[in-house]
A and B are shown apart, each in its own frame.
Chain A
Amino acid sequence: MNGASMDDLALLIPELILVSTALGFILAARRIENAHMATAGTIFAALSAASASVWLVSDSARTAFGGMFIVDGYSQFFKVLIGAALALTALVSERRIDVESVRPAEYHALLLLASTGMMFAASAFDLLTLYLGLELTTLCSYILVGITVERPKSNEAAIKYFLLGSFASALFLYGVSLTFGATGDTGFATVALAVSENTLRNNAVLLAAMSLIGAGLAFKIAAVPFHAWAPDAYEGASAPVAAFLAAASKAAGLAALGRVALDAFASPSGIASGFLIGLAALSISVGSILAVSQTDMKRLLAYSSIAHAGYALLGFISGTTEGASATMTYAFLYVFMTLGAFGVVIALGKRGESLDGYQGLAAQRPGTAALMLLFLLSLTGIPPTAGFVAKFVVIQSVVSTGHWMLAVLAVVCTVVTAFVYLRVAVLMYMKEPQTPEEPARFPTAVSAALAIAALVTVLGGILPGPLTRWTDSALAAKSATSISRNVDR
């Protein structure tokens, strides 16, 4: 491997922007007492990183560091998405930071570093770079979950998340070492070559490697049966952190999983897709059914995010570019609607955290209730919201592969999740208020985040054309080695 040249570093500009901002925050931590300043800095960094990644992509994919790092349409798409999620998280964090006496500079530095890891993971073209990116993200996430030191629940959540998370990382790393043993390399291109040469079915080591890596990644997106940490972590963490985990972290996990499933372990025998089918079916059904009995709003959204991870996975099953484009569309729209829902939770403060707090909300704050209804309808997948377009593309992709039972399961579980979200809608619109009305004041930043999320949720449902064109062209600009599998069924 050659030393890093300037050209290689140029491809890292988005990550470098985030890291340098984060380091700046850490150095100046004692001086930054004002949360607004940190928020502005983070948003600026996030937007610059996203624009830099847009600017970096040319028609063909470019690799750096001896092929360990790739910049292509796929990574660009996810980097923009992660940048947007980071910016929105920074906006919604405005309300909580003051309340929970967290040092703004530390908090924002951690958000930035976690996002750096995510962007790095989206660009990883080697299992080791992927591991580095994901570890950076999870390490920061552990701290973010536990950052509200005074709340015991938050500490407990952080410890649970840490224990399970390190276990998952170990699994992933073990998978990487097995891959190295079986193929002699950890680069996706070589792995893909080895996988296509000796079929997974006959090579137990490679099969084990794939399962372990898959398990590690499934943990990151909280897919069943690797989901147990999510409800506790979301509940214990302060709401903006939970939103960040549900949106950005999940998007990054999906990006990584897509790369691994479609580029490295794309087996013609479809074992990888068998694995994905299992994960998706379990996540969709378990996530939606367990959400039914929740009474804590963040737990409810956690289970719903588990179900959504399952829906997002549906696109990868086909192993085609159309399928990957479907998952990307899903991830994009999901990030905005889930951030919107969390945004309402945050905007309502303490009241928003438990389901009872939503009683009679429509009578007291019609605007907030209407926004929540919009996000809930979108999460359910009712047209003309973005959620419907997202569901349509992934289910269409599953149907085109002929997995009818999975498609039926997916749509039937939509009805279950509808019941989940309906409970909130019923509380908001059809019950009398229980909590006395508080003055409806929340920071402009939160309102701005809600407005952006709502805009995407509506526009994504009415005019999905530009988004699907973007995902398609993003995949077209993916490297030739990528998406090697185009199974004809």
Chain B
Amino acid sequence: MTGFPVLTTITFLPLVGAAAVLFSGGQRLSRWIALATTISNLAISAWLYRHFDTSTSTLQFVESATWIPDWNIAYQMGVDGISLPFILLASLLSVLCVGVSWTAIRTREREFYASLLVTETAMIGVFAAANLFLFFVFWELMVVPMFLLIGVWGGPGRVYAAVKFLLFTLAGSVLMLLGMIALYNSCETLDFTELAKAGAKLDSEFQAWVFIAFLAAFAVKVPMFPLHTWLPDAHTEAPTAGSVILAGILLKMGAYGFLRVSLPILPEAVQVFRTSMLVISAVAIVYGGYVTLVQTDVKRLIAYSSVSHMGFVTLGIFTLNASGIQGAILQMINHGIITGALFLCVGMIYEQTHTREIKDYGGVAKAAPAYSAFLALFCLAAAGFPGLNSFIGELLIIGGAFQTDAWLMAMAIWGVALGTTYLLWLYYRVVMGELNPGLSGLKLELGVREVATLAPLAFLAFYLGLHPESVLTYIRVPAELIASGATP
């Protein structure tokens, strides 16, 4: 391991890129700068992934520098097997976001790519932070560029969606701020590792209050039922790149928060709230599934499916056993890949059709066979088809749920069945049958750039389906550690 601050580099490189974009002369030039920045970041993340030691749960590539010495707050970065896959995913999705925005974004490109790059900094920062204060800073930093992405380049209802997104998120995160201050006052440190040691000694009532404060922030981000109402608006109105980031990374930040903060630091509170969390997750799975079924807007449908899928993730986390937690993490990666890909697919066709209503589609297979093949692959992957990536994750979660309670497993399987139904029905309505007359004459088939954007995700859907070990080896050790710490 070198002394080179790799994590700081990948975190702040996009910020430098954003500054370069803003001060670059041309609007056209900005997308090239953005592409170069995101690709370099992806390369460095891949290097990190290769050089990571999977046998230990301690933080690696650790960097530490004094920051605010009077408050005992240091600038600490470090990754473990849970955060590293997310960093890689965030870097990958950022590249694809630049790819999909290449022609779709025509107004104020400089600001767009700058916002996108600042978002990347925040995403990677959240996962690379080894200090709660730093985590919080990146967590909040995420909100502003996202607000602009939705509100400036989004669909017709974009202002409403952007404001709703920001207020929901902020309401959650100010309570997290309070929880953070409570931890800080009683533990006098915000270092994750130190907190995990000090937090367990706190008395259980205090832990419960802090848990609630953090829950407010995490539950909004995940989002957990009934705090999910911002999600359909934000995802639907956001530009494609925004939807991809929202679904791919932002939702995972909440669940990651549970794994990084709630479970290790507040073990007693987790026991207290465990049952309610499991019930809420089960409700999200089934309720989310039914709501998804009745959507008439393609983007909204995929957005609602996230509620159901993220229900699986929180269910897996709060089973508190190794299988459930591993499944949850793996499923987060899978969901990031698949839902990201689905939003990309929708965005690509929307660029031609300018409609999101399902009834305006139909028979797309006739006009765009390659597109239909990609969509089929991603729909099947999202439905948990064996051999594709979601299957393993769902299996692990269902296994974990079974160890906890057979009823939970039943709910999860019900959710899988609903998922298959709404995805295949969506596919049927959009792709099968006769070509919708409204679509004739449009160039629906994918171009080279679009295939290049989708191909990495398609590859991953297969690869992780056949070799889940390539991610699971990273997750296993830390997940088992969390599970053993959380079990009384």
Give me the interface of A with B, judged by CB distance under 8 Å: 362-363, 366, 377, 382-384, 388, 391-392, 395-396, 399-400, 407-408, 411-412, 414-415, 418-419, 422, 425-426, 429-430, 463-465, 468-469, 472
Contact = CB atoms under 8 A, between A and B. Distances in A.
Interface stretch (B38-46, B134-142, B313-321, B335-343): B134-142
Contact of A400 (B140, B152, B166, B185): B185
Interface in B133-180: 136-137, 140-141, 143-144, 147-148, 151-152, 158-159, 162-163, 166-167, 170-171, 174-175, 177-178
A388 B147 CA distance: 18
Interface string B60-72: 0000000111110
A328 to B, nearest CB: 13
B446 interface: no
B181 interface: yes
Task: Identify whether the interface residues of B are mostly helix, strand, loop, or mixed.
Answer: helix
B69 A396 contact: no
A414 B170 contact: yes
Contacts of B108: 362-363
Given A362-B152, A366-B111, 20 more contacts: A362-B108, A362-B111, A382-B143, A388-B140, A391-B177, A408-B175, A411-B174, A415-B167, A418-B170, A422-B163, A425-B147, A426-B151, A426-B162, A426-B163, A429-B151, A430-B152, A430-B159, A430-B162, A468-B70, A469-B70
A399 B159 contact: no
B167 A382 contact: no
Contacts of A382: 140-141, 143-144, 170
Contact of A383 (B68, B141, B152, B182): B141
Contact of A418 (B158, B159, B167, B178): B167
A422 B177 CA distance: 20
Given A396-B185, A411-B175, A415-B171, A429 B148 contact: yes
B34 to A, nearest CB: 17
Contacts of A414: 170, 174
Contacts of B152: 362, 429-430
B156 to A, nearest CB: 12
11 contacts: A363-B108, A382-B170, A396-B181, A399-B181, A407-B178, A408-B178, A412-B171, A415-B167, A426-B163, A429-B151, A469-B70
Given A363-B108, A426-B163, A430-B158, A472 B137 contact: no
Nearest to A413: B174
Contacts of B178: 395, 399, 407-408, 411
A465 B69 contact: yes
A429 B107 CA distance: 12
The 6 A-B pairs at the shortest CB distance, nearest first, are namely A411-B174, A383-B137, A430-B151, A383-B140, A465-B68, A396-B181
Contacts of A395: 177-178, 181
B233 to A, nearest CB: 15
A366 B185 CA distance: 41
A173 B478 CA distance: 66
A92 B152 CA distance: 31
B184 interface: yes
Task: Identify whether the interface residues of A are mostly helix, strand, loop, or mixed.
Answer: helix
Interface string B171-199: 10011011001101100000000000000
Contact of B167 (A383, A419, A425, A429): A419
A392 B69 CA distance: 15
A383 B148 CA distance: 16
Contacts of B141: 382-384
A399 B182 contact: yes
A465 to B, nearest CB: 5
A419 B169 CA distance: 12
A363 B110 CA distance: 12
Could you say which interface size class chain B belongs to? 20 to 34
A465 B67 CA distance: 7
B236 to A, nearest CB: 16
Nearest to B66: A465
A13 B136 CA distance: 45
B185 A399 contact: yes
B170 A415 contact: yes
A407 B209 CA distance: 13
Chain A CB within 10 Å — which of B67, B69, B71 has the most? Answer: B71
B248 to A, nearest CB: 23
Contacts of A425: 147
Nearest to B71: A468
Contacts of B136: 383
Contacts of A400: 185
A449 B71 CA distance: 30
A388 B185 CA distance: 17
A411 B177 CA distance: 8
Contacts of A366: 111
Contacts of A396: 181, 184-185
B166 A422 contact: yes
A468 B181 contact: no
A396 B190 CA distance: 13
Contacts of B70: 465, 468-469, 472
A384 B129 CA distance: 14
Contacts of B140: 382-383, 388
Contacts of B163: 419, 422, 426
Contacts of B111: 362, 366
A153 B159 CA distance: 35
Contacts of B151: 426, 429-430
Contacts of A429: 148, 151-152
A412 B167 CA distance: 11
A141 to B, nearest CB: 34
Given A377-B144, A468-B68, A468-B71, A384 B166 contact: no
Contacts of B170: 382, 414-415, 418
B361 to A, nearest CB: 29
A430 B163 CA distance: 11
Nearest to B143: A382
B349 to A, nearest CB: 26
A144 B235 CA distance: 50
A469 B185 CA distance: 19
A426 B144 contact: no
A419 B71 CA distance: 30
Contacts of B68: 463-465, 468
Nearest to A472: B70
A377 B144 CA distance: 9
B345 to A, nearest CB: 27
A415 B175 CA distance: 10
Nearest to A464: B68
A297 to B, nearest CB: 19
Contacts of A392: 177, 181
A426 B175 CA distance: 24
A122 B360 CA distance: 70
A395 B166 CA distance: 22
Contacts of B162: 426, 430
Interface string B273-296: 000000000000000000000000
Chain A CB within 10 Å — which of B68, B69, B143 has the most? Answer: B68
Chain B CB within 10 Å — which of A465, A468, A472 has the most? Answer: A465
Interface string B67-94: 1111100000000000000000000000
Contacts of A465: 67-70
Contacts of A469: 70
